[in-house]
Amino acid sequence: MFNFFKTLQQRTPLGLLQLQHDPWRLLTAIAGITFADVLIFMQLGFADALYTSNTQYPRALQADIVLLSTQAKNFNLLRSFPRRRLYQAQDVPGVVSADALYIGTVQWRNPETRKKTAMMVVGQNPDQPAFALPEVNRQLAATRLPNHVLFDQVSRGDYSAMIERVNQGGVATTDIADRTVTVAGLFKVGASFAYDGALITSDQNFLRFFPKSHPGAVNLGLVRLAPEANAAQVKNALKQRLPDDVQVLTGQEYVDFELNEIQKNSPIGFVFGVGTAMGLIVGVVIVYQVLSTDVNSHLAEYATFKAMGYRNRYLLGVIFEEALLLSLFGFVPGLLISLGAYAVTASAAALAISMPLERVLQVFVLTLLMCSASGGIATRRLQAADPADIF
């Protein structure tokens, strides 16, 4: 590989000169690679936003061990289990506390536009913070008041007037389940693919919003251990102590459970994977068409080189030089366009979508492989070319 690049540096850059020979063909190739890179960047970005947004609350849980129903699918499709499992868990040595978390979805009416939208509601014990969210924990006392909630100010939608009013100490009210609800405070987490935003309130208020919910049925159990307790041992003890209607997972295992559900069992994750593959295929086809046309157009020149004694290796180097240059020329605008698209998407959809360095390197390597594969396919005719037949 290093000898190949050293050879490129020492000889005349025929690949670059041939690309410059037909500017329109070069621009077409760059546009095709740019399109493929943007498609790949967006698919990977959306997939990462899906994984991040749908696990932001599970990752923020303040619990050493999480209890959930064996029928639970993910954080948005949790099933309930008996509250007495929490009391049973407290009897296990090493357990300090076991608190309930209630999760549901309501139709929230935007106080400004009066439009309804789906909002996740989390009910928790205000005396025992459930999340490692300082903004939330500082304001939990306000949720003790009837029908008072904390509102995620980066929810999807226009809430600027309401947010300004609350920040200035004013009152904002709206309707949930035929109840007048007061926004007592604000926090920042973000929307997800499943809901437009979130409300956090006390467990008592949650039961008011969901009158059909039974207080003895909870969605998650948050188990906290003593500092000296061994998490693995306590987890095994809980598995032996509790019936088979609940799963016992450590905090990280629960996050992995959520990710696995999205990546392997959700059709959305599969769709993003197909989109990424389609981007690669589009790029390979476009670059192949450009390089194949170049080989056909200059077949006589390549045959002349062969007749002069140049080996196939030298001629293949010219084609791969073109492929590498095309990958560079197409990647840079693709990256810049994707950065702009990420910013627009994050603002418009309230999704946590960003461009980490690892993704930049990943797509760059994919672009190199894409163009190299196209170059390899395009050189097959060149390798078989016989100067005697051509002349």
Reported as a single tens digit per residue, the pLDDT across 174-189 is 888 778 899 999 999 9
Whether residue 60 is contained in a domain is answered as no
d(CA 299, CA 18): 13
Whether residue 202 is contained in a domain is answered as yes
Whether residue 235 is contained in a domain is answered as yes
Residues 238 and 135 in one domain: yes
Asked if residues 38 and 334 have their Cβ atoms less than 8 Å apart, the reply is yes
Residues 229 and 116 in one domain: yes
Residues 78 and 10 in one domain: no
Whether residue 385 is contained in a domain is answered as yes
Reported as a single tens digit per residue, the pLDDT across 88-128 is 999 999 999 999 999 999 988 888 888 888 899 999 999 99
* Choice between 277 and 17, residue whose per-residue pLDDT is larger: 277
Residues 159 and 288 in one domain: no
Q: Which domain holds residue 291?
A: 2-53+267-390
Reported as a single tens digit per residue, the pLDDT across 46-58 is 888 888 888 899 9
> CB-side exposure of 225: number of CA atoms within 13 Å?
19
Listed residues 193, 208, 243: the one ending a domain: 243
Nearest of 389, 384, 390 to residue 312 by alpha carbon = 384
Residues 294 and 155 in one domain: no
Confidence band of 384 (pLDDT split at 50, 70, 90)? low
Confidence band of 1 (pLDDT split at 50, 70, 90)? very low
Residues 14 and 48 in one domain: yes
Whether residue 252 is contained in a domain is answered as no
Confidence band of 382 (pLDDT split at 50, 70, 90)? low
Residues 45 and 76 in one domain: no
* Helix, strand, coil distribution of the chain in percent, nearest 5: 55, 20, 25
Query: Residue 34: is its pLDDT beyond 60?
Result: yes
Reported as a single tens digit per residue, the pLDDT across 265-291 is 777 777 887 888 888 888 888 878 877
Mean per-residue pLDDT, 357-370: 91
Mean per-residue pLDDT, 282-304: 76
Listed residues 243, 258, 288: the one ending a domain: 243
Residues 46 and 77 in one domain: no
Residues 282 and 227 in one domain: no
Q: What is the 3 state secondary structure string of 7-57?
A: HHHHCCCHHHHHHHHCHHHHHHHHHHHHHHHHHHHHHHHHHHHHHHHCCHH
Domain count, the chain: 2
Whether residue 376 is contained in a domain is answered as yes
Listed residues 243, 278, 304: the one ending a domain: 243
Residues 120 and 181 in one domain: yes
Give residue 2's pLDDT.
Answer: 46
Residues 44 and 110 in one domain: no
Residues 230 and 294 in one domain: no
Q: Which residue in this structure is represented by tokens 């064996």?
A: 70
Whether residue 324 is contained in a domain is answered as yes
Whether residue 254 is contained in a domain is answered as no
